[in-house]
Amino acid sequence: MTRPRPSVLFVCVHNAGRSQMAAAFLTHLAGDRVDVRSAGSVPADRVNPAVVEAMREVGIDIAAETPKILTTDAVRVSDVVITMGCGDACPVFSGKRYLDWTLPDPAGQDVAAVRPIRDRIKVLVDGLIAEIA
């Protein structure tokens, strides 16, 4: 019997930086072994261009991604919810696993400042894959 794929939701305030990078890394590294979503409590109009460039440097293109609003349904259908600076904006449901990754916000930063955030997110995603996939 195969077990169902785990589902992960990454949440940050604007869904324009940290959560987009985390979702892209998880999708890229875990492939179809994990269902991946990202959202923001107050989504931006577009993904941060410095984040797009930083991800392009490691071979992942997120230029076509768009920030999405955090919904109760997105949390409800996720097994793991990972927040990154959104405070109490996430609805909480019993039976879910919640993690909070403390990471600097790349908003307003240039690509040089985004690189170490990107690299830390990759390390965290690698650890997450080892746990759930």
Q: How far is CA 9 from CA 31, 57, 58, 71, in A?
A: 15, 24, 22, 11
**Complete DSSP assignment for 11-38:** EESSSSSHHHHHHHHHHHHHGGGSEEEE
pTM attached to this predicted model: 0.93
Model pLDDT for residues 59-83, shown as the tens digit of each residue: 999 999 999 999 999 999 999 999 9
Q: Does domain 7-128 sit in CATH 3.40.50.970?
A: no
Residue reference for tokens 């460039």: 53
Segment 114-124, tens digit of pLDDT: 999 999 999 99
Q: Which residues are catalytic?
A: 12, 86, 90
Domain boundaries, the chain: 7-128
